[in-house]
Amino acid sequence: MKYIRYPNEEEWKNIYNNSPLVGFSFSSSGFYNNNLNAIDIFDSPIINSYGLLLIQRFRSLVESYILLTFYYQLEIPDDTEKRDNNGSFKDFESHHFGNKEKFDYYSDVFYFKVFSCWEVVGHILNIQYNLGIKKIEFKKVVRKLKGKDDDMFLKLSEIMSNIELINANTYRNHITHNYSPNMPGLVRRIDDNGVAIEYVQEYFSSSVVYENIKSVLELLKRSIEVIQYFDEVDDIS
């Protein structure tokens, strides 16, 4: 297998310093227990534990973002005008395939990690507001906030309904359950009558994915900022 170049320390720092991540930090103790009348003395320590988990997952998200940005900046000529009628990459040279392979890998990791961060946010809210949800889904948690904290509900609902988050969720679901939307070609599905239908799948170019990733990162930051309480921060960089 051919050696794949990774960013050196200077390149790593340069990507980070020019990213949406600069200046963003949060603390594991920054998520207060809103359910102050609860008799369960373990609520606050558990919230703190989830805060630590969120920091851990966010750091992994930062790593994925830096690496996918590195390969994106090495150039991946896969926009519509750079593909032929069969979806093939007509402007690709040998090194472009390596760039795309690594970009696809780290962008897939990014999407899995970013939604896992929102699930942790859901766990924190579930305990903060004593929602009693057994299986955590961020959307379900947000809906449960209505009537308990309407300001929080409205702010998180706005984030949840953002078109970029909806697109990201669609992309993630395709990766997980259907087909890889970063590979052009034919796919087959079986309709309700058992008939096989072949069609050209929708292709998401690297530039489309990259712009969505930057937008989704901003939405996650806003989500964390909304549910924070204290000003103390931990270094997540």
Other CB atoms within a 10 A radius of the CB of residue 146 amount to 12
Residue whose structure tokens are 């609520």: 43
* pLDDT tens track for 188-225: 667 777 776 665 566 778 999 999 999 999 999 999 99
**The whole model's pTM is what?**
0.84
- Per-residue pLDDT tens digits for 103-131: 999 999 999 999 999 999 999 999 888 88
98 sits in the region (left: phi over 0; alpha: psi -120 to 50; else beta) called: alpha
